[in-house]
Amino acid sequence: MRNLRKTIILSFLIILMFGFNSCKRNSSNEWIKAGDKPDSYIISFDNSIFQNGEKSSYIESIEPEINGFGTLMQTCNAKEYLGKKVKMSGFIKTENISDWVGMWLRIDPIKSPSSEYFDNMRDKQIKGTTNWTKYEIILDIPTNSNSMNFGVLIYGTGKVWFDNLSFEIVGKSTEKFNDSLNIGISNKLLPKPTNLDFEE
């Protein structure tokens, strides 16, 4: 069962990394569109539908059938959370989702596209049409992590709104990546999670 889980995670990560080749930034420079079918979706801000504040961000399918996924995501330096257990919270609203939606968080070392420190809510899939609901993910941040990658993804067709993310330290972690995967720490990243309410 553990090997099956690793295979599923690795497959998703490879697809997600491949999606970076055609990633596009939305109106906010911190957030990018990626996935294995990024051109099958539009990503923008919504000034009329939001959980709190004045706007949210959304992903909407523009094709009648999609065998793949799109994601709105951000990557930042993990330095602020090294050796911590972190809770990521966010609000999601959906409309006519044909397959499923999930919030996701992945922690990476420098030299590997694969990480066991990953959760995309695959076991808590959001389906159909739902009102604003708060979701949470808790992950260990290894003491020698490089980056935090996070966002919301949609498989298939429909529309998903995403608003008011937050990160909270809820404990300590002694987890550590293999040192061979982490020689130095990259400085070419956002210093921390940014524009989490899409108001900037």
The structure tokens listed for 119 are 């959760």
Write out the residue range of the structural domain in which residue 6 sits.
2-181
Whether residue 192 is contained in a domain is answered as: no
Task: Return d(Cα 16, Cα 79) in angstroms, integer.
Answer: 23
Whether residue 194 is contained in a domain is answered as: no
What is the pTM (predicted TM-score) of this model? 0.81
Whether residue 29 is contained in a domain is answered as: yes
Whether residue 65 is contained in a domain is answered as: yes
Predicted local confidence at residue 112, as pLDDT: 61
156 Ramachandran zone, left/alpha/beta (phi>0; psi -120 to 50): left
137: domain CATH number is 2.60.120.260
Task: Return d(Cα 90, Cα 18) in angstroms, integer.
Answer: 26
Whether residue 154 is contained in a domain is answered as: yes
Whether residue 11 is contained in a domain is answered as: yes
Each residue of 155-182: pLDDT tens digit? 999 999 999 999 999 999 888 877 655 5
Whether residue 189 is contained in a domain is answered as: no
Task: Return d(Cα 71, Cα 43) in angstroms, integer.
Answer: 9
Domain count within the chain: 1
Between 125 and 27, whose confidence is greater? 125
**Between the CA of residue 65 and those of 19, 25, 43, 149, 185, what are the distances in Å?**
19, 24, 17, 27, 41
Contact 96, 158 (CB under 8 A): yes
Each residue of 127-153: pLDDT tens digit? 999 999 999 999 999 888 888 999 999
| Mean pLDDT, rounded, of the chain | 84
Whether residue 21 is contained in a domain is answered as: yes
